[in-house]
Structure 1
Amino acid sequence: MSIAAVIYLGGWALFAWVGDSWLQLLVAAAMAVVFTQLGFLAHDLGHRQVFRKRRPSDVAGLVIGNLGVGLGWGWWTSKHNRHHANPNHEDHDPDVSPAVIVWSEDQVARSRGIPRFVAKYQAYWFFPLLTLEAWHLHVASVKALLKPGAKRRTTELSLITVHFVLYFGLVFTVLPLGKALVFLIVHQGLFGIYLGLSFAPNHKGMPVLTKEDKLDFLRKQVLTSRNVKGGWFTDLALGQLNYQIEHHLFPNMPAPNLRRAQPVVQAYCAEIGVDYLQTGLITSYGQALRHLHEVGAALR
């Protein structure tokens, strides 16, 4: 967390030093990586992996999520916990609700408007749409915090407001209008793509559950999750979420320990006859895209 904080502040110092130059697009790409890495830390804090007590987790999560990245940490944590309770479930997992992308043939049949238009060739739309993911999360965070009964509304809205005042203020102070707009498009677009590339391998293309599926906890978590093989670089690039099966079985296990749990869990699944899927990174994207393409087949 300390390293991430130093790199984050150093990135903005570099932005100020580079000044009015198209080299800022390289800074935008680098800061997209930094923002996503901060998102991984906020994710771990939401699962209470870092501190024993709730208060330091909340404080750190709000500082990193709301102030550092501009995302509603409390709203996202609540949504993400619902995903963990029922991964890939049509009715209960907010991550497979049919918004623009649809995830099952049943959702395709019920889709209308833009989702139905996109679903026809959604495998081709998937990565371009990820360029809008960061903006979507920013807007969704604010909308959730404006709803009646939102927890910590004043604190979270204040921190998000400070983030964007400083963010837009710095960008439009250092850069002229045209370059500033291009910087925002590149930074937020790559931020959204990196987020999508990090989370897509975990569940996309895995079985989508319905109310007809009656699975115990272990099978519900393992059969809907996919691990991604790789070394230290994959661990770093994916925030150790490449051990997705272990993370879903033990969500508050500190991320650095997931690799130690992996061989134990894999051996146990083999012992009891539960399918345990582990693939390479590129293969995981292929499986996800093929699933999206097959789901939209009826419309073609």
Structure 2
Amino acid sequence: MRLEEKLEKNGHVGGRPERCLSEAPQENQKPRANGKAACPAKQEANGKLDMPGRSLNVYTWQEVQRHRQEGDQWLVINRKVYDVSQWASRHPGGSRVLSHCAGEDATDTFRAMHLNLDVVKLYLKPLLIGELAPGEPSQERNKNPQLVEDFRELRRTLEALNMFEANVGFFLLHLAQILVLEALAWLILCRFGNGWTVTVFISVLLTVSQAQSSFLQHDLGHLTMFKKSTWNHVMHKLVMCHLKGMSTNWWNYRHFQHHIKPNIYPKDPDIDAGPLFLLGESQPVKYGKKKIRFINYEKQHLYFYMVGLPFLMPAYFNGQSMQVMYLRKYWADIVFVSSFYIRHFITFGPFYGIFGTLMLIYLVKFLESPWIAYVTQMSHIPMRMSKEENRDWLSTQVLATCNVEQSFFNDWFTGHLNFQIEHHLFPTMPCHNYHKVAPLVRSLCAKHGLQYVNKPMLTAFGDIVRALKRSAALWMDAYYE
């Protein structure tokens, strides 16, 4: 039965109320100079829950927005005000994702990025310093409250329909596909030797394995596949570090920033490709007006094929992962990544030697790179890029992302990242449910006048180059004026 039919049959229009994230004020809370003592207010969080006991300080949005500097960061979740200044350095998702939301209503951001609220709310309690004054709106005044509520209503409905429950079998089959490809490559090498034809063939098998490992680790990094999250972390390290040879911590900190503020400069690290590429509209103009010309940006849409596609994985991502892992001493990642190289030396060393095995590893990464570059960039580079505008969660994600049409091949080739809009709106949703919720997301976008972009895959590939060409033209106009 289709999801829309389930909704009609079950009469879902509201869904169950969202769980309370902040149940009590901080112990031994002292009044602040810019806050007033107030009687216990009612918490507004998709239904009203009475706050027990102790009174909370109250703040206006103007007061909250003053605290958005490094070392002094407040944010609002379900009308409760939290001081995350000292917690930021210990935040498992990295300090920058908190700084990107400082001074804002982070309710939907918080809900989108955390799956196990029972655990997370324990960390929130000591950070609670007050709540919004009764006369203050639940979101900043520039946001559309009806749009915000409609999106939260959609999320509650999807939760009631178990759209955030992962099918463990789906992901184990994905893992089995990868292991079969790896084993097949080794068996063929053992049977036929290391001739050129065999080397090319096993390189292709390993390339497919590596690309599919990229998609699987991406899912594992976002969701809890197993009931105990420890197992999920182990699986993530197994796939990302042991099967791919890259750091999970590096990926998490970088990727979560991208999800919080996609295509927002300079908060999204994925659009900071300078000085090699200039993206969007503002960055090319900025470089052009300052007469910055590190390279001939007029040709960036051409050297994208020669540099961006083949070297994204083996040079940029792999090099950055190694650098961050060793400088920040991520010891668990170092051990798992070391096992990646040890495994390859044991498996392929007898046929190719140490140097030859290293060449095989980087040949596979070189071949994988265009695949990953196209899949990861086709949904963002052609879309709107801007500086911070503090939009609501739905608008922020939809304006910066687009989908690619569904087919069995497209789903497999992209690891279901052809549903980039749904993935960005619900990062903790398992990828096998994206196609079920897509019609509901499209309807919500239509209701509020947001363009829901869905295009053929080859068009999406071409739009990357067309976007680079447009940015190059903006740079030229500013540079030569």
Q: 1:259 to 1:6 in 2, by over 3 A?
A: same
- Confirm or deny: 8 A CA contact 2:405 2:418 kept in the other structure: yes
Q: Deviations over 1:79-120 (max 9, x none)?
A: 111100000111100100133222134323338999831532
Residue in structure 1 matched with residue 306 of structure 2 by the alignment: 128
The answer as to 2:182 corresponding to 1:8 is yes
Task: Quote the Cα distance in structure 2 between the aligned partners of 1:182 and 1:9.
Answer: 19
The structural deviation recorded for 1:281 is: 0.5
Q: 1:114 to 1:20 in 2, by over 3 A?
A: farther
* Residue identity opposite 1:124 in structure 2: L
Match of 1:167 among 332, 335, 344: 344
Give the SS at the match of 2:327. Answer: coil
Which has the larger Rg? 2
Match of 1:157 among 324, 329, 334: 334
Task: Quote the Cα distance in structure 1 between the aligned partners of 2:365 and 2:293.
Answer: 23
Task: Quote the Cα distance in structure 2 between the aligned partners of 1:26 and 1:67.
Answer: 22
- Confirm or deny: 8 A CA contact 1:20 1:175 kept in the other structure: yes
The answer as to 2:233 corresponding to 1:54 is no
Q: 1:280 to 1:179 in 2, by over 3 A?
A: same
Residue in structure 1 matched with residue 295 of structure 2 by the alignment: 117
- Confirm or deny: 8 A CA contact 1:66 1:72 kept in the other structure: yes
Task: Quote the Cα distance in structure 2 between the aligned partners of 1:115 and 1:282.
Answer: 31
Task: Quote the Cα distance in structure 1 between the aligned partners of 2:231 and 2:291.
Answer: 44
The answer as to 2:408 corresponding to 1:232 is yes
Q: Deviations over 1:59-92 (max 9, x none)?
A: 0010111011101112102211110000011110
Higher strand proportion, which one?
Answer: 2
Residue in structure 1 matched with residue 205 of structure 2 by the alignment: 30
Task: Quote the Cα distance in structure 2 between the aligned partners of 1:207 and 1:144.
Answer: 29
Q: Which structure ranks higher in relative contact order (CA pairs < 8 Å, sequence separation ≥ 6)?
A: 1
The answer as to 2:391 corresponding to 1:215 is yes
Q: 1:85 to 1:173 in 2, by over 3 A?
A: same
* Residue identity opposite 1:158 in structure 2: V
Residue in structure 2 matched with residue 68 of structure 1 by the alignment: 243
Identity rate, percent: 25
Q: 1:175 to 1:280 in 2, by over 3 A?
A: same
Q: Which shifted more, 39-48 or 132-141?
A: 132-141
Residue in structure 2 matched with residue 83 of structure 1 by the alignment: 258
Equivalent residue pairs, number: 296
Residue in structure 2 matched with residue 256 of structure 1 by the alignment: 432
- Confirm or deny: 8 A CA contact 1:225 1:244 kept in the other structure: yes
Give the SS at the match of 1:192. Answer: helix
Give the SS at the match of 2:344. Answer: helix
Q: 1:119 to 1:165 in 2, by over 3 A?
A: farther
Give the SS at the match of 1:276. Answer: coil
Residue in structure 2 matched with residue 288 of structure 1 by the alignment: 464
- Confirm or deny: 8 A CA contact 2:258 2:268 kept in the other structure: yes
Match of 2:320 among 107, 117, 140: 140
Match of 1:266 among 413, 425, 442: 442
Residue in structure 2 matched with residue 98 of structure 1 by the alignment: 273
* Residue identity opposite 1:132 in structure 2: F
The structural deviation recorded for 1:25 is: 1.0
The structural deviation recorded for 1:12 is: 3.0
Task: Quote the Cα distance in structure 2 between the aligned partners of 1:115 and 1:28.
Answer: 38
Task: Quote the Cα distance in structure 1 between the aligned partners of 2:222 and 2:305.
Answer: 28
Higher helix proportion, which one?
Answer: 1
Task: Quote the Cα distance in structure 2 between the aligned partners of 1:113 and 1:241.
Answer: 38
* Residue identity opposite 1:231 in structure 2: S
Residue in structure 2 matched with residue 18 of structure 1 by the alignment: 192
Give the SS at the match of 1:79. Answer: helix
Task: Quote the Cα distance in structure 1 between the aligned partners of 2:190 and 2:317.
Answer: 26
Q: Deviations over 1:239-280 (max 9, x none)?
A: 000000000000000000001011111111112211110000
Residue in structure 2 matched with residue 205 of structure 1 by the alignment: 382
Q: Deviations over 1:213-261 (max 9, x none)?
A: 2321100001110100031110011000000000000000000000101
* Residue identity opposite 2:184 in structure 1: G
Task: Quote the Cα distance in structure 1 between the aligned partners of 2:408 and 2:282.
Answer: 39
- Confirm or deny: 8 A CA contact 2:280 2:384 kept in the other structure: no
Give the SS at the match of 1:132. Answer: helix
